[in-house]
Copies of this chain bind each other. A is one copy, B any other.
Amino acid sequence: MSTTPLIHVVDDDDSLRTALLRLLGAAGFEVRGYASTGDFLLYPLPDRPGCLLLDVRMPGPSGLELQAALQRQGVALPVIFLTGYADVADSVRAMKAGAVDFLAKPVERAALFDAIQRALACDAVQRTARQEAEQLRARFASLTLRERAVFDRVITGKINKQIAEELGIAERTVKMQRAQFMVKLGVNSVAELGRLAERLRRLSD
């Protein structure tokens, strides 16, 4: 069920990165180290719980640029920054972009583990939310255009007769399509249908 979290460490300082990997590994996490932004982006990201410990200043693309790139790609992996240079502008930019924390090197063990815990909690919430959204979208994607048209009108409270007239079809047909998408959506009552519709609407806006 619960896979052990995978923690990615991106830092060009070999000795620090190795120390971090050892520390986190000893704490029971699965870990992967990368010496640069490019190394990290080289292979596709496995779809599993985790977070990213990211150095800010490195040869090549900076940690901030990596964070922005991940955002553009729609990757929601929580990021914890580690930096040796105290730069307020960097920290603010990172936090505005959604970083979980921004820690100064040398980082204290307690602060690091606290940040990781928050990052993993954040990731877990995001993952379940995304998963539920996917399931919901999938269910609605199986509806035909006609069924979807009837659905849209049912959830606004219209009665079959009105729907039939609006769509230029027989009331009997409305009943059929209605019954069909009730099965497809896995609901047994109009009330549940309305709740499902509201959950779908939340995803859109």
A198-B194 in contact given A88-B87, A95-B91, A104-B88 (Cβ < 8 Å): yes
Number of copies: 2
Stretch from A15-23, A153-161, A169-177 that touches the partner: A153-161
- Chain A 162-198, CB-CB to B under 8 Å as 1, else 0, gives 0000000000000000000000000111111111111
**Residues on B with beta carbons closer than 8 Å to the beta carbon of A192:** 155-157, 194
Q: Report A134-165 residues with CB < 8 Å from chain B CB.
A: 154-158
| Interface status of A96 (Cβ within 8 A of chain B) | yes
**Residues on B with beta carbons closer than 8 Å to the beta carbon of A91:** 88, 91-92, 95
| Interface status of A86 (Cβ within 8 A of chain B) | yes
**Residues on B with beta carbons closer than 8 Å to the beta carbon of A96:** 95, 101
**Residues on B with beta carbons closer than 8 Å to the beta carbon of A92:** 91, 95, 101-102
Q: How many residues of A contact B (CB 8 A)?
A: 30
| Interface status of A199 (Cβ within 8 A of chain B) | yes
Task: Give Cα distance in the complex from A157 to B195, angstroms.
Answer: 11
Please name the residue on chain B nearest to A191 by beta carbon.
B194
- Chain A 28-71, CB-CB to B under 8 Å as 1, else 0, gives 00000000000000000000000000000000000000000000
**Residues on B with beta carbons closer than 8 Å to the beta carbon of A86:** 86, 88
| Interface status of A27 (Cβ within 8 A of chain B) | no
| Interface status of A129 (Cβ within 8 A of chain B) | no
Task: Give Cα distance in the complex from A59 to B17, angstroms.
Answer: 42
Q: Report A62-114 residues with CB < 8 Å from chain B CB.
A: 86-89, 91-92, 95-96, 101-102, 104
Contacts A/B (CB < 8 Å), 8 sampled: A91-B95, A92-B101, A95-B95, A95-B96, A157-B192, A190-B190, A194-B198, A198-B199
Closest 4 pairs between A and B when the two form their complex, measured CB to CB: A194-B194, A157-B189, A95-B95, A198-B198
